[in-house]
Chains A and B, each alone.
Chain A
Amino acid sequence: MGIRVENISKRFGKVEVLRSVSLEFTEREFITLVGPSGCGKTTLLRILSGLELPDTGEIWHGDRPIGHLSPGARDIAMVFQSYALYPHMDVFHNIAYGLRVRGTPPEEIRRRVDEAARVLEITALLSRKPKELSGGQRQRVALGRAMVRKPWLFLLDEPLSNLDAKLRVTMRSELKRVHRALETTTVYVTHDQLEAMTMSDRIAVMDGGRVQQFATPEEIYGHPANLFVAGFVGSPPMNFIDGVTLVDGRLVAAGAQPLVLPVSTLERFGAAIGAGALVAGIRPQHIALHLAANAEGLAGEVQMVQLLGSEKLVEVDAGGRVLSVVVDAAVTVRSGQPAWLTFDAARLHLFNAATQANVLPSPGVHS
């Protein structure tokens, strides 16, 4: 049975945290809510859990409204950012608590806790208290507590944000593995777009209390619905060139020194562009850097070079606009050097400057 979030609005005092949010997802999906802090993602998760009461709107589980049910009656599970392990109970009783509350027979509790502990590899820790555990172990216990009841929905509130970088990568694949094994519908909240991209079936990018785009990671990355999504997703962030208009079949950026964008073919854009002002966006990975003169390319001067490991981030000043370009680390490039840039036309994004919406049709729809 799918879940439908319908027109949920919520305000705290004067702050509108959620503005008529609607989402629909199906069973077994791994959904991520991602956005900057204050975008309303955690509030939406808490409304799903029943801990928070929406001002308007309803939540449907299949064709059953569940918005009025208490968190316990919803039969869902939630993992908190702080893990929220009961400090006075050992690991076994932490995991077993939900079952005990529901009156599960002791031998059944024993069996299910043991099973969850085996899956999460924490069997040896069952008699420890939470304060005797490391961060990663606490994380596993919190997961175990959520799993053991076999709920129909997992809610995870930034569960990895308290772990160190290395452990976070490990736990990311661990979570993914658990999800594949249990196939429980999961809603995951994070502010880390990389986490969202790597784990989710679909991502809801949120900002200002609204869902900006709800789509697969590929779609979000390849065809961001608007300027916010384009800027939020991807690292290093997308280059934006504003004041772009279509002049004689070429994209020209207005300014003290008007730039003709180095895009060789414009047929993909068709009539969708219209006459209004545009913002062009292109990711640093989709710009090619030429150190020899290139007639097609945009001429500029290298300003700064940062080594990122296997790649280099090069900042090029082209007619007063600084564009970042990612090149292979093996490329030798110094600041002060002249450089020419060409764009991968298929990866160029155009946004309406007024509405901020992507004006290009999604490639998925198009072809």
Chain B
Amino acid sequence: MQKHEHWRAADNRIGLAFIAPFVVAALVFMVYPVLESVRMAFYYIDPLNPDGQRFAGLANFATLLGDPLFWSSLRNAAYWTFVSTILQAVLGVGIALLLHLPLRGISIFRGLLLFPYIVPTVVIALCWQWMLAPELGIVNHALRAAGIIDENIYWLSSPTMAMHSTIMLNVWKYTPFVTICVLARLQTVPTELYDAARVDGAGVVRRFIDVTLPQLAEVLAVVVVFRTIWTFNKFEEIYLLTRGGPGTSTFNLAIYSFEQSIANLRMGVGAATGVVMMMMLFAGSLLYMRIFRFQEDT
């Protein structure tokens, strides 16, 4: 119909040129590794001899399912994720409500809040190790001085304490994440809603239950799903503090996968663990999609 090429045709080529690097990078750095790790899950692979691979069928998965350490890692991961996420959500909302108060100087506190998020995990792990050291650590020292304990607590070298120490680290680092998301949402709640509730005779508690919570429900659902997934995936937050120990008492699936690949030189088993994790994540993402339906927009 058109006698001349419309300028949009040339323009669209620019659009495609702009997306091309992303497509390449996504294929190389995201799609390929995931597919490759699925493939690896079905092979015997020694990282020291990457060319000597043999097809393993489901043997790697069978190894996993027959390994008590896999099951205890899964249990640990579930416990770790569940407790960390709940604590982050509860503390995060609480702190957000506190920071939402119209107090003088509140913006300084709001600014400070993000700090733990930027501190490298290695640094926190080092600080934690130093503070929690049994003899010289400040925590035991303070508890002793206050007369709360007589004997030093072995924060990182007794199994239950180690697990809870890693949870503490995780909560310290990522609660601000929840707070910021909730705070951002709180600031968009129209004040008319509170005025209306006040006119209707609602007190502080009722206002929180009837106005604030429903407004936060959506953002909380999203944040909790994200935090659950990411917490489940964490490696460094545990590994750097306890190396999965004492013994294997703080192994989660990421550490299990790492140890299988690096220490046991069974990359196939490591990859199979990853595949199992991904399947769990996939279920998590579906849940997320259902909670937070996207609108197609042009």
Which A residues form the contact surface with B (CB < 8 A)? 50, 53, 56, 65, 67-71, 73
Contact = CB atoms under 8 A, between A and B. Distances in A.
B7 A67 contact: no
B6 A53 contact: yes
Interface in B278-298: none
Interface of B: 1-8, 11
18 contacts: A50-B7, A53-B6, A53-B8, A56-B1, A65-B3, A65-B4, A67-B2, A67-B6, A68-B2, A68-B3, A68-B5, A68-B6, A68-B7, A69-B7, A70-B7, A70-B11, A71-B7, A73-B7
Nearest to B7: A70
Contacts of A70: 7, 11
Contacts of B11: 70
Contacts of B1: 56
A115 B57 CA distance: 80
Contacts of A65: 3-4
A73 B11 CA distance: 13
A265 B101 CA distance: 76
A60 to B, nearest CB: 12
Given A56-B1, A68-B7, A69-B7, 8 more contacts: A53-B8, A65-B3, A65-B4, A67-B2, A67-B6, A68-B4, A68-B6, A70-B11
Contacts of B2: 67-68
A95 to B, nearest CB: 25
Contacts of A73: 7
A67 B4 CA distance: 9
A56 B2 CA distance: 9
Which of B3, B7, B11 has the largest count of A CB atoms less than 10 A from its CB? B7
Nearest to A70: B7
A298 B8 CA distance: 61
A200 B216 CA distance: 51
A53 B6 CA distance: 8
A73 B6 CA distance: 12
A11 B1 CA distance: 16
A53 B11 CA distance: 12
Contacts of B5: 68
A50 B4 CA distance: 14
A70 B6 CA distance: 8
Nearest to A68: B4
Contacts of A56: 1
A241 B132 CA distance: 89
A53 B4 CA distance: 13
A53 B12 CA distance: 12
